[in-house]
Amino acid sequence: MPKLSISEVTTYNWSFEEDVVNYAAAGIDGIGVFRDKLANYGAKKGVELLANSPLGVANLVGSGYFLSNPVSTVAQIKYGIQDTLEAIELAARIRADCILVLTGVNNTFWQTPETARDLVVTAMKEVAPVAKEAGVRLALEPIHPKFPGWSILETVPDTLEMIDRIGHESVGLMYDVIHVGESGNRLAEIEAAGDRIFCVHINDVDEIVTPGNDRTIMGRGILPLKELLSAIKATGYDGYYDVEIISAEVWAMDYNELLNECKSSFAELMS
């Protein structure tokens, strides 16, 4: 049975506690935990709240950023590794299925793109065994180039190549439909990813991807979601489909209505 989760980014104006209580009351299967919301609520209390909730934890958002310091790459890599190790410990406590990992971008003028990728691979090789020991998986997410500042990985093939270079079973792919929405080889890329897909972000977009808060609820936009999700299911994927909508318009909605529409749209897409 396909599992629906809601990323806490989607219900941006609710607190961590409101998210947990209301997702469960709406009959949602899981939650994508936003690390900042959990920190604001208190990690210890949050762990207890989730332990007493029927929700599964699809993923923990907020880790990596190995390349984002223009002053000192060495310092940033060390920070990224330490931050990811802390995220692994937290993810294990909340029993998250995986951690979303973003690489950050190469802001240093003396580094080539190849060197930047090498640094990320080295960092991921260091944290992957720790994740394995903790029972946590690490999901690298490619980010559309029209959303600068988040990742040096822009396509599924880019990301699969890095996953292969890292070569560890605990490292896989976060597949977000908006970030691969303009690829002309979407179905072939999904097939190539196969069991390396660790989690799926679902949303929709009104027009060709542009920077900003332009995502919308599945079925309101132009993405071929039924086709994409069918292809993902055909790989044998049985994880969460996590609704992640970054949109000022959606954030202003009645969130209980939003949850109901997400459930209805998801049921239609998976039918």
Phi, psi of 70 (to 5 degrees): -75, -10
Does the pLDDT value for residue 147 go beyond 80? no
Question: Which residue from 120, 237, 132 is spatially nearest to 175, judged by alpha carbons?
Answer: 237
CA distance 95 to 148: 31
Question: Based on the structure, what is the number of domains in the chain?
Answer: 1
pTM over 0.85: yes
CA distance 150 to 153: 9
Indicate which CATH number applies to the domain containing 111.
Answer: 3.20.20.150
CA distance 258 to 161: 37
The whole domain housing 56 covers 3-269
Does the pLDDT value for residue 106 go beyond 80? no
Question: Which residue from 67, 155, 156 is spatially nearest to 118, judged by alpha carbons?
Answer: 67
Region at 242 (left for phi over 0; alpha for psi -120 to 50; beta for the rest): beta
DSSP 208-261: S--SSSBEE-TTSSS--HHHHHHHHHHTT--SEEEE---BHHHHTS-HHHHHHH
CA distance 266 to 96: 22
Report the relative pairing of strands 215-216 and 204-205 from DSSP bridges.
antiparallel
pLDDT digits (tens, 9 = 90+) for 60-85: 997 777 876 554 567 778 888 999 99
Q: Hey, how many other C-beta atoms are within 10 angstroms of the C-beta on 130? A: 17
Local confidence band at 209 (pLDDT 50, 70, 90 cut-offs): low
